[in-house]
Each structure stands twice: as C-alpha cells, then as structure tokens.
Structure 1
Amino acid sequence: MNRNVRSLLHAIVLLTGVALVLLNFGYFHYGYGTSKTSLIPHGLPSYFSPHNHTPSNPSPNFELTAGNPHFLAQTASYIRAISNSSDTTFPRLECPFSPTDRYTYMNKPSESAAPKPKYFFALDLHNCVKLLPRLIGSIVETIRFLGPRNCALSVVEGRSVDGTFEVLKELRNELEGLGIRYIFQSSDINPHAKGTDRIEALAELRNLAIKDILENSALYAQDTTIIFSNDIAVCMEDILELIHQRNAQSADMTCAMDWTYVGENPTFYDVWIARGMTGDSFFNIPPDGSWDYAWNLFWNDAKAQSHWQSFKPFQVFSCWNGITAFTAKPIMEGKIRFRKHLEKECYQGEPKLFAKDMWWNGYGKIAVVPSVNVEYSDEAAKKIKTLKGYTWSHVANEEDNMKIKWELDPPSRVKCIPGGYETQKWVAWNEGLP
C-alpha cells in the first residue's frame, strides 16, 4: 500500500472518530440517555438523577385523536417548561424550595420482592393548558424526587379546546424516557351536558383516572398512596408534605386547604364537600346563601380552629380541597370507588361520598394539613402563598405537638346541602348505607 493511500485511510479514520464524538455530544448534551429530543437540561439538583430506561410495566396505550396541528406546534415549549422548573417561557407560581431530609425516606423502593410503584398521581383536566407548566411541572419534579420507578401518573383529559390535550399527549415520550408509567386517556364525558347527572359524570371521570389501580392492582405496592389533584397551582413541597403527613400521622387521607378569590380577600373554596368533626361545613352559610361568614372558619369547632390558625393538621369528616393524598387499599380491595348518591342518600358531591365510604370501611383517619395552601391559577396562587405562607415556612417552625389524636367514630350527623343553601339539612352520617 503506497504512502498516499495510507494517508487517505488515516484521514478517514480520524474524521470518523470526530464524527462519533460530535454525535455522542448531541445525544448526551442534556444528560439524560441517548434521546436527542430530551428537554431536560443540565444543572438540575442532585436528586434529579438520570433515568434512561422504560417503566418496569409499559404504559397502556389508548386510542387517541391526532390533535389540532396549531396546538401541536406549540407543545415543545410547554413540555420544556414542564420538564425544567427554572424555565421562564410561561409565567407561573414560583416554588423556591429544595427537598430536605424530612422527605428523603419517601423515595425508597417498595418492600415487595419486585419493587412496584407506590405513588399514583391522578388528575382529571379540562382546558387548563396555561396551568400545565406549574401543575404537571411540579408533579414531574415530585416524581423525580420520589423516584420514577416508584411512581405512576394517570391523566384524563376531557373536551379541551385550548391545547391541553395536545400537550398531555405529546408528553408521553418525555415521561416514559424518565421511566414513569404514564396513563393518558381522553374522555368526552361532559358533567354539564343537558340531562346529565353531574355527580355521576364526575365520579365516572375520577374512576377513569384511577382505572389502572382498579383493574391492575397487582402492578402496585400494597401500601400505595394515591395523590389526586384538581387543576391547581401547586408546588412540589405541597405534594411531598401531604404524603409525609399521611405517613407521619398514620392517616388514611390528607388534604390541603384550597382558596378562591371572589373579591379582594380569599375564601375557602371546597365548602360544599368539606365537613369537620362537628359534621358541619367549614364556615356557616345561612339559608339565604350568603358567604358573609366565610372569613370565620370553624366558628363552632374551637379545636379545629386552633389547629388551623397554628398550621397544625387536624381531623375532619370529609375533605378534598384541591389536592389530596389517600391510601389505595380500599380501592385495590374493591371496597370503594367514586360514585353518585344512593336512592336513600342526600344528594352530595362524589368526594364527600368517597370520604363517607372511607369511614364506613374503617378508613376514618382523614385530616386537613393547613400548612399546604393552594389556588386555581398561578396569579392567585402567588397571592395565597404570600398571604398564607409557603409550606416550607411552616415546616421550619413546626412544634413538637403535631400528632393528631384520632377520633375513631364519625360525627353522628353530617350537614348535607342537596341543592340551594335553603335546602341544607342534617342527616345521619351513614344515611342510606346498608
């Protein structure tokens, strides 16, 4: 072989090596496996360790429409914002928090022989694309901290016309690339359609969100916690604290406090669902429907009021309050699912009926965690966090006497508001149950 040929071959080898280096730089530029399209950047906290594997149990694929091309073209920026909490493409609630030792015990694998997911995140979402960077972003951030193999995420989207469907659909590759079991469905159930029983429709949507646990309970750890969230602006610390308090208090269910701005000052939102251990609503609403007393929470329950004012968890009969963490056991055992009222029951919301069924089946350790405060928009959530404080600020000043002294029996009577507030009445807590 002459010198010119050898020189040519040598040059080819060098160029090939350079090309491979450049290709590898392109693949690993974002630090997460071999996906060129990964939107997760360098510089994330150390607990965001790389996970370049598929979920231990492949995510189910449901038949979905292609989506609106206009909205599909915008999904990349949303997915980037969801994947990177420091992304500033969209305005959102700031969550200045890094997990502390308080929560590190929660990211250990389940104790089963083959580790299974033990945190199941469930959501029903409609027309909330602007909220997704904060809401889904915080959930993904939480899942990274807890460990993707420990988690599953189930989302039911319904009838959205603002791009919510397209973002959630296109999010699949990113989540599965992290090793997250992602169950995404779309439903045309409309709770507000003419002739539709609103509560029955809402219950059906909630059951769709937990369908994977209802039908495939063997895939999940026996001590699985379901974290069910509404369309709220929430921080990772809020989610972690609800899970932590469920563990620390040996609670069956823990809820936040959710708020809404109907005027200059915030009002507790979930008053139709939430009931204290007095059986009464969280604030008094007279028959004329006036919310003039909304500022006076727990006016007839000194113990609950004291705990709420000092940001200490306290027991309630029922709650949902924007986001809740509860045991999956009665669901996995086939004892409970979301439902509408029975024939001899007062008409009421499916979360209140869910809590009632929890009590009936021996899961009455239900608590509100008042250090966790949420709202339904990024802008209003900023105001709530300023007014009520971030969760970490209350945890930092936590006192020793935080343990709930559980009451084993529910209140004998519970207030039901079947229609307008002029129809509210007291009924037996177990009215209509066999």
Structure 2
Amino acid sequence: MRLLSGRSASSSSVTPVLVDPAPLAFAASSRSLTLVQLEMADSKPLLASTTDPEKGAPPDEPSKPSISTFASASLTDAYERTTRLLRQDKVRRIAAAVVLGCLLLWTVGRGIVASKEARLRRTARTTQRLEGFSESRLVQVPEGLRTHYDLPVDALLGNPLLSSHEVPVCRLNTYQQDRYAPLLPSYGDGGRRARSGKPVLPHDLPRNKLRYFVAINLFDSEDVLPSLIRALTGVVRSLGPSRFHISIYENGSKDDTPLQLYLFAKLLRQLGASYNIVSDPRRRAGFKENKRIAGLAQVRNQVLKPLYDAPKGTWDRVLFLNDVHLCEAEILEILLQHEVQDADMSCGMDFQYLRIPDFEASGYPLLFYDVWVARDMRGLPFYEIKYPTGDWKLPSPIMPQSPSRFRYDSLLPTQVFSCFNGISVLSASLFLPPHSLRFRTDDSGNDEHSECYLLCSDVWKTLSPLNSDGTANARGGRGARIQVVPRASVGYKVEEYEAARKDRNTTAFELDGEERRQVLGDELIDWDPWPPKLVTTYPYGHWDDQVHFARPSRRCSSR
C-alpha cells in the first residue's frame, strides 16, 4: 500500500489516504497516465471559481467552453483536415500514375514504331533484288555469269558485255580528289581546313553521312550502260557501298541491255551495295499518240517506287541519271554542289550534236539538249527563239538573254526555274510526306509539257513563301532552290561527252589560302525566292522541226 497526501480545507495538516498499488502498477506497466482525483467534502477545489461569493455572479457573462470542448473541436478539425489531405494526395497519386502510365505507353508505342521503322530502313538499305530473269531468259546470260560464286569486280568490269563498248577515259587528278574529299567516309569532322581556326567554307564541311538513291530508266542502252556502270562503280567504291541504293527500270529492250543489267547486279552484290533492278520484257517500248509524257511519268515513278515505299529518312538524296556518258567527276561535282548551295534540285548539262544536213559540211554544232524542260529565272529557254515564227536561233550561246549567262560561262552554278538535263540530284524529302511530289502530266493528260518541267513547277509551288491565295506557306517555304551545275556536263555519245566535258578544267581547284576562299565564295548562289512572273512554253517537237520550219505548233506561249 502507498500513502497519498490530501490537503484539508480547514487546516494545513496532512491526512494519510490508503490506495491499492495494483492499479497503479498496471497503469505504469501499460505506460498510461491515470489521473486520480481524491476530493473530500472539506477540500478546496483544484480549480478555483472566478465568482466572488460576496459580489455575486457577473451579469449575463457568456459561459466559456471547457478544455475538453476545445480539445474535441481541434481533434475533429485535424481529422477532417488530415482526411482531406489524404484524399487529395490519393487523387494526386492516381493522376500521377495515370500520366506515368500514358507516358510509358506512349514511349513503348514510339519505341515499337521507331523499331519497326528502323527495321524497314535496314531492309530497304540492304535489299538486293533482280527481277525479270526467268529460266527462259537466263539461257541468254553467258555461262560465266550464271555461276553462283562471286566474281572479282575487275573481272566483271572486264567482261565483253562491257569492254566491247567504247567508254570515256576517266581519272580524278589530285586537285579533284581534294575538292571531293568532304564526300568521303574518311573525311571525318572537316579535315585540316576545319582545324585551321578560320571560318569553314561550305565546300569543306563533311558530307559523308548522306545516303543516295540512284534512279535510272533504260531502253536499248547497251552502248551507254557500260559508261554508267563504270562511273557508278567508282563512286560507290569511293563513298561507301552502304550509302547507295541503285534502282533501275528497263523495259522492252532488244539489245544486250538486260544482260548488262544482270552483270551489274552481280557487281553490286560483290561491292555490297543494295539494288532493285527490274528488266521487264513484257512491257513494250514506245508510247501511244499524245500519251508520251504519261508513259514517261509512269516509268519514272516506277523506278522511284522503292523510295516511295520506304520510311522517311531511309535516303537523303535522289540521283537521276539518263542514258548518258559521263565519269565519276560529274557525279561527285553535282553531289557536292547540291550540298554546298543548300539546293532542292541540282542539274547538270546534257549535250548532243545537231546532226542535220544543213550543218553537214561545216560540222554539226554541239547543242544543249534538254531545251524543252530548261528555263532560266526570266522564264526563257536556254536558246533564243525567233519571234513571231517560233524558230530556234541556232547555233547560239546558252542563255543568251539571261543575266546568269556570265556565271554559266565561268562554270559557276546558276539558279534556274526548271531543268533536268540528263543528270540531276533532288532532295528525297520532296517525294515524301508532307510534299509527296510525283512525276505527272498536265491537267489535260496530253503532251503539252514535259513531266520534268512539271516536277520543277510543283517544287516551286510546294516551297513558295506564299500560297496561291496570298497567305503564308505554313510549311515554311523559302522558295525553290533549283540550280544548273555547268561542270557536270554529259553527252549521249562518247564523242559528245568528250566535246562537252568540263572536268579537265581544274584551274580553280589548284588555288589555296585567300585566293581559294575568294574563288569558292564566288561559287555561292544568291538565291531568289520568287519564280518568274511568266514562263515561255511550247509543245514537244523534234530537232529538225525546231530548226527548219516555222510552224504554228512551234509558237511560244506564256503561262
């Protein structure tokens, strides 16, 4: 038993009170505090009253809540506040979980799509497909080529299918090798000129990551295909086979063109380049009357089909080659200038002798060939047309009425409205969404305009700063950048190419220091974002029609 002290109301003496220790021990062991209040009849209250017994209670004084009431209200508010915070926190957690889940699903979905696109790109870049050689056609292939074993590249290039045809002599000198070095995989991040500390010219920036889609349409081309094969082999070897895809569509040939394509496929396989070569013996050559352009547009789109079907970003540039003679220098020059000038489309210059009786005695003049397509920035043809008869004024200098004539005569790249010219480079994005351009006919579906001229016109419409209604182009049009590269000159026969080629004039490449910077700076085009107001057009015709006779159908019209 323990003694607890109680204080008497009448005296200060202490009265002992007996308390059972068992409950206290239990309370202590359970760490609970038990308040024992022992109140006797003669004891003072633990809390003294505020009422003075002599004066009485204060009038109408509001009663104050007890401590227990305050504690109860505080606990209720705290509980409600805690519950509300917990509920809000739960909502936040659920919302965060939903957002994270959506992000995770989006990331996974993007990853799946990106993985699928990457897989499709790899497939497109590694495809090696040769179509059109059935068992009956394989009998025509020389037995030495039908072997399943890979033949050396030099042995394939020396095969009589190629070596029996005349080809131009091609060689890059030291200055050309230095000029085209930025295209090579070994160029790195810019070479010695990038490390010189001076501003780097566009000519010296690395261009060694670009991938090229090469498109060629052929018909009875056995005389010219060996030149194309040799030039492309040299370029593919130099720039890297994995960066190239060769797409060729040939139909209706009666000569050795299909056999040469079979050999070319084996050569590309040996190099490690991808290709899609189609030789279609069932499609007859030629076109129905007034449907020539529709047929040409169809075969050009056919050769671009692997590009249309591949994911965006599979290839960066499209290199179109006609059935022309050329060397590696022309291909490398136009590839380089397309990047240096930040162009959308770049064209070479194609030439052909005007073989008509009028010039037989004095010698056939070498003329620019693609006059039906090419227009300068005044909308004029590259040759002067006599008015009002519509005859060509031949022979004459190229672009005689154009302010750009002096740039062309100096072998400097020149802005034009339209061109194609036997060899051309286009940005692959033009053929992909959101632009999705295609070769086509005009609205009538007839031969009023070339499919190549219409493509250039569509490029201007697509990249124009303004739409046709005068509103700003939402796709950020800067104006079409279409150029002619005079150094990339080609010919349809070996002697025409030899007379037209400009790759041997390398004086401008031999400079260094400030002189080099000045010369290369002069090469850069000051682009005009606006097309000409009027463009001179005329129907399709043959050379002899254009020179000899003033026919109504040869008259110029303005569009």
- Provide Cα deviations, 1:25-63, integer angstroms capped at 9, x if missing partner: xxxxxxxxxxxxxxxxxxxxxxxxxxxxx9952224534
- Identity among equivalent pairs (%): 28
If the length of structure 1 is used for normalisation, what is the TM-score? 0.75
Query: Which residue of structure 1 lines up, in the alignment, with residue 314 of structure 2?
Result: 220
Please give the alpha-carbon distance, in whole angstroms, between the structure 2 residues aligned to 1:161 and 1:88.
Answer: 19
Give the alignment of 1:24-423 within 5 angstroms: 57-66=126-135, 67=137, 69-70=139-140, 72=142, 83=157, 90-98=165-173, 100-108=177-185, 118-187=211-280, 188-190=282-284, 192-195=286-289, 197-218=291-312, 220-221=314-315, 224-263=316-355, 264-286=364-386, 288=389, 290-301=391-402, 303-333=403-433, 334-343=435-444, 347-362=448-463, 364-385=480-501, 388=502, 390=504, 392=506, 395-396=509-510, 399-400=519-520, 401-419=522-540, 422-423=552-553
Please give the alpha-carbon distance, in whole angstroms, between the structure 2 residues aligned to 1:297 and 1:59.
Answer: 42
Please give the alpha-carbon distance, in whole angstroms, between the structure 2 residues aligned to 1:332 and 1:266.
Answer: 38
Aligned residue pairs, count: 366
Q: Is the 8 A contact 2:448 2:538 kept in 1?
A: yes
Q: Is the 8 A contact 2:308 2:432 kept in 1?
A: yes
Question: 1:374 and 1:140, CA in 2 relative to 1: closer, same or farther beyond 3 A?
Answer: same
Q: Which protein has the larger Cα radius of gyration, Structure 1 or Structure 2?
A: 2
In the TM superposition, residue 344 of structure 1 has moved relative to its aligned partner by 9.4
Question: 1:58 and 1:298, CA in 2 relative to 1: closer, same or farther beyond 3 A?
Answer: closer
Question: 1:285 and 1:427, CA in 2 relative to 1: closer, same or farther beyond 3 A?
Answer: closer
Please give the alpha-carbon distance, in whole angstroms, between the structure 2 residues aligned to 1:55 and 1:329.
Answer: 16
- Provide Cα deviations, 1:293-332, integer angstroms capped at 9, x if missing partner: 342321211x211011111111000001110011010102
Question: 1:72 and 1:412, CA in 2 relative to 1: closer, same or farther beyond 3 A?
Answer: farther
Please give the alpha-carbon distance, in whole angstroms, between the structure 1 residues aligned to 2:178 and 2:143.
Answer: 41
SS of structure 1 residue aligned to 2:224: helix
In the TM superposition, residue 342 of structure 1 has moved relative to its aligned partner by 1.5
Q: CA RMSD in A?
A: 3.3
SS of structure 2 residue aligned to 1:324: strand
The answer to which of 286-295 and 131-140 deviates more is 286-295
Question: 1:138 and 1:418, CA in 2 relative to 1: closer, same or farther beyond 3 A?
Answer: same
The answer to which of 178-187 and 60-69 deviates more is 60-69
Please give the alpha-carbon distance, in whole angstroms, between the structure 2 residues aligned to 1:235 and 1:305.
Answer: 25
Please give the alpha-carbon distance, in whole angstroms, between the structure 1 residues aligned to 2:284 and 2:526.
Answer: 41
In the TM superposition, residue 395 of structure 1 has moved relative to its aligned partner by 4.3
Please give the alpha-carbon distance, in whole angstroms, between the structure 2 residues aligned to 1:315 and 1:156.
Answer: 30
Please give the alpha-carbon distance, in whole angstroms, between the structure 2 residues aligned to 1:138 and 1:219.
Answer: 26
- Provide Cα deviations, 1:152-188, integer angstroms capped at 9, x if missing partner: 1011111111110121023223212211111101245
Please give the alpha-carbon distance, in whole angstroms, between the structure 1 residues aligned to 2:218 and 2:237.
Answer: 22
Q: Is the 8 A contact 1:118 1:150 kept in 2?
A: yes
Q: What residue ranges of structure 2 are gaps of 5+ in the alignment?
A: 1-122, 190-207, 356-363, 464-478, 547-551
In the TM superposition, residue 106 of structure 1 has moved relative to its aligned partner by 2.0
Q: Is the 8 A contact 2:124 2:306 kept in 1?
A: no
SS of structure 1 residue aligned to 2:275: strand
Partner letter of residue 59 of structure 1? Q
In the TM superposition, residue 415 of structure 1 has moved relative to its aligned partner by 1.2
Query: Which residue of structure 2 lines up, in the alignment, with residue 24 of structure 1?
Result: none
SS of structure 2 residue aligned to 1:373: strand
Please give the alpha-carbon distance, in whole angstroms, between the structure 2 residues aligned to 1:227 and 1:242.
Answer: 9
SS of structure 2 residue aligned to 1:308: helix
Please give the alpha-carbon distance, in whole angstroms, between the structure 2 residues aligned to 1:208 and 1:391.
Answer: 37
Partner letter of residue 359 of structure 1? W
Question: 1:72 and 1:391, CA in 2 relative to 1: closer, same or farther beyond 3 A?
Answer: farther
If the length of structure 2 is used for normalisation, what is the TM-score? 0.59
SS of structure 1 residue aligned to 2:497: helix
In the TM superposition, residue 196 of structure 1 has moved relative to its aligned partner by 6.2
SS of structure 1 residue aligned to 2:535: strand
Partner letter of residue 317 of structure 1? F
Question: 1:218 and 1:118, CA in 2 relative to 1: closer, same or farther beyond 3 A?
Answer: same
Q: What residue ranges of structure 1 are gaps of 5+ in the alignment?
A: 1-53, 429-434
Question: 1:81 and 1:124, CA in 2 relative to 1: closer, same or farther beyond 3 A?
Answer: farther
Partner letter of residue 322 of structure 2? N
